Structure 1
Amino acid sequence: MSEHGAARRAVEAVWRIESARIVGALTRYTRDFELAEDVAQEALAEALVSWPREGTPRDPAAWLIATARRRAIDAYRRRAGRDERYAALAQGLAEGEATSGAPGPPAPSGTGILAGDPGSDPAMLDLDRIDDDVLALMFVACHPVLSREAQIALTLRVVGGLTSDEIARAFLVPVATVQARITRAKKTIGAARVPFEVPDGADRAARLSSVRGVLYVIFTSGSSATSGDDWIRHDLAREAVRLTRVLTRLAPEPETFGLLALLELTAARFPARVGPSGEPVLLEDQDRRRWDRASIIRGRAALRRASGPAGMGAYALQAAIAECHAVARSVPETDWDRIVVLYEALGRIAPSPVVDLNRAVAVAMAQGPDVGLRVVDGLVDRGVLAGSHLLPGVRGELLARLGRTAEARGEYLRAAELCGNAAERSVLERKARLVEP
């Protein structure tokens, strides 16, 4: 590998690991999130030019912060110079109006953009504040003034360290769309005067729930891709797991551990979920010896910390369901009765048609496909999940188990037509062929 290529990989690796700390420290320094992210990107661009020529610095993160801070000071000076010019123009206007007896506008105050003197700042690299900076950055990126799409893009960019290209590839959208979302998000945060801080009390709980929700959406977007050709987008799912681990260190609350447990236990099955040609492998056909035992151990350890004074939350209940699968030696040996109970509890605290559909599958496994089909038909009668492939897919499976092959084939084909992911669609079409009379 060339020196330029090695240096570029070093820059990318440092940014992926340290971006949240860098942007967090710069935001605390400038008190301007948009400026902090902009100068961090400028420092990154400078590193791509400088490091191949001069070598990777001994402390790459400190180099990026120092370089970005110099860029922020330059921006401060430009704004200060601009304010002085505006003040001079205003003064001239005021003198002219004074001659005519008209009042002039007040001169600008010249308040700078930096928090304090733009010179040295010993607290800039205060490691005791790094955790607070990263957590505050998560709260900013997931602020409710932003749309969910903007929250996801901003979290992956400034907390996860992903480039716009990487985010665009992960969500199958144009790079320009991602860049526009990030730009609008930063401007919205500035316009709304979102403070760079870790909120207290009820506001902290509500915002932390939003952070967890964004991480969950990122993971599910990677673990069960709804569009495109790939069944699993491993990089995206792994990034969500990594960020959730960070969150458990910064905010070690039961439901945060519940989310981490759910992601670890779900990701443990990834090695067995895809066949040699990239085709999906369903749960009943997976080689459980290929499951990631280390991930299962981590997930179960997190689950033990996921029960608070009020019991388990929604993420913890889903993790408990995933644990039932993780510890079972086969599908028939799975504790389906416990899974039914867990889905019933989940349906009470986080009701949704998808939860009801999953409970129907568990009921079918515990009590028979005819009982499960009655639950599914109840969902059909309610008109829920009408545009989703999930409902006809499950109904086709239950009909096939009952020997009603013609009906099953119709449901599979309907599910395939509604499915946006090519890999999953091929599975449904194959099932339809297998149940042909």
Structure 2
Amino acid sequence: MASKDSIVALSSGRLPAGVAVVRISGPKTRFVVETIAAGGVKERHATLRKLTASDGSVIDHGLVLFFAGPASFTGEDVAEFHVHGGRAVAAKLLEAITAFDDIRHAEPGEFTRRAFLNGKLDLVETEALADLVSAETEAQRRFAVRNAEGVQSDLYAGWRRRLIHARAMIEAEIDFAEEDDVPGSVSDAVWSDVATMIVEIERHIRGFKAAEIIRDGFEVVILGAPNAGKSSLFNALAKREAAIVTDEPGTTRDLLEVALDLNGMRVRVVDTAGLREAVGKVETIGIERARAKAGGADLVLLLEDMTGPLPVGEIPAGVPLLKLGTKADLGAGQPNGYDLLISSKDGTGLTALLDVIGSRAAQAIGDAGDILPSRLRHVELLNEAKGFLARARSGVSPELRAEDLRLAADRIGKIVGAVDVEDLLDVIFSQFCIGK
């Protein structure tokens, strides 16, 4: 799908930097390279050239790479200029390139959009590239790389092929039952595979929680009575004064959050208001938010001051919980009844606590080899597909059951952005020699 306009953008991030990379894609790419770099360059080879503006002035000396379409990232002619990373250098080069007719600055994500439109990427791989760019932890990087390499797309493509084949078999029985080379009955095999696929899709959907934890982080909420040491622990984990710590009860009124990287996994730690019978409207709101946040947490740390335990009321049920005895540096308290004894002041138990949190996060993510749905839209479309499959299995009319199979395949095709109505005919004619 060729575009009339060529697009250009700085692709290397914030300046100043050691090197700035300016990328251009579109039909004018070769002309720009030959003009600014004073001649052609060998494809897929870095060539050092003097880069000049239209008035002959030198912009910079830099490397030029040219990738002829369709063998390029976008499927169009693409070039990269690697120049010194000063703001003025990059600005002048961009100005010189956009001075040509039919060349404009790229919109956000437009290079990747062209790659998708030209069939270089599907939607899942496009989303994986976005995840790879934004990855902050090793787990996020691994997850994005696997999806960018197509493992998730291959899974969906396999399900779609099986559904297209199933529908082809059902429709062949309906339309070509009298042909000698059409099998007499394929229904049992078709509906057995559909039942298997429903189970596979359900299992895959259940993995979305793990994918959310990889992308958004394992959420740990700190709960406890006022002055139980919540903010002190929060600051100790953050390794900075992120929360105000005083002897005055009710200092923390709102939710505070910090992100940690534990063994390559993102962990979000949330400090909350002290749980007690509130003395004011603002503190009451903070306590309500604390309880609500804890209800959706992946792990709750319930802190109790061993020098003077105070009641905290009802704790959300069904949430994984660690009970921590605080202020262990004061020598008070016994390990009985607590999962860990900690002191934010001298560091007692903090390493063990981080180890436990990291272990819980790893368990929540599960097997690194699992293929997981990486977006809520995937789950929504898969649930729709599963519904159509269930209806097809329980249906009576062969025509309506075949239509439900088509709708299911359509929903799975929408995940990767590849819905081709001609696929069904290809299957029928290749397998049954109809029209001989």
User: For this structure pair, what is the TM-score category when the shorter chain's length is used for normalisation?
Assistant: under 0.3
Bigger helix share: 1
Asked which structure has the greater RCO (Cα within 8 Å, sep 6+), the reply is: 2
- The structure that has the greater radius of gyration is 2
Q: TM-score, normalised by structure 1?
A: 0.28
Q: TM-score, normalised by structure 2?
A: 0.28
Bigger strand share: 2
